[in-house]
Every structure is written in structure tokens, then in C-alpha cells.
Amino acid sequence: MSPPPDWMPVFVVVAARRSYVAADPKSPQAGAQGTTAHGQDVLQRIGTAVRRPDGGYSIELTALPVNGRLLMRPPQPGELLDPTQGGGA
């Protein structure tokens, strides 16, 4: 088993919502509907968690989640500790 990463990105989980298009009933798209992100939840990075010597994580958020759902996951290849420095997810 590999050791936990030294840091992890933190995301707010936004549930996909149905959207409706074409207010004009004569439009060929009238009544058409779709979902954002193909019906999957959308992740918005809002912070970084850095591992502490005691095994816990110190979390720094740049925004607050309105729904209370956060996700931490190991960093993906090319993802940066500080997303403001370019790259990141």
C-alpha cells in the first residue's frame, strides 16, 4: 500500500441540474432538455489540503461550499499544489 500523498486538491461537489432550451415553441429545439456535464456532478476546485506530521490534513479554502459537500482526492498528473500558478484542475 502506498503512503498517502503530501497534499490533495479540495473540490465542492455541484449536482448537475436539468436545463431547458428554446423558449420559442416554433423552434425545432422547443421542449428539448439536457443536463450539465452529461448528468454527472460537477467538481469545482476551491482549495488544497496539505498533510500534517501527525497524519491529519490542514485545509485552506478559497471559497465556501454552499451545499456542504466537499471532495478530497489524490492529485492527478499535472495538477499543481497551488492552482493559481497555472495548470491544476
Helix (H) / strand (E) containing 43: strand 42-51
Q: Which residue has the cell 490533495?
A: 8
The residue behind cell 465542492 is: 12
Q: What do you get for the CA distance between the two ends of the chain, in Å?
A: 26
Instruction: For residue range 50-87, list pLDDT tens digits in order.
Output: 999 998 999 999 998 888 889 999 999 988 888 777 64
> Is 50 exceeded by the pLDDT of residue 21?
yes
pTM score, whole prediction: 0.63
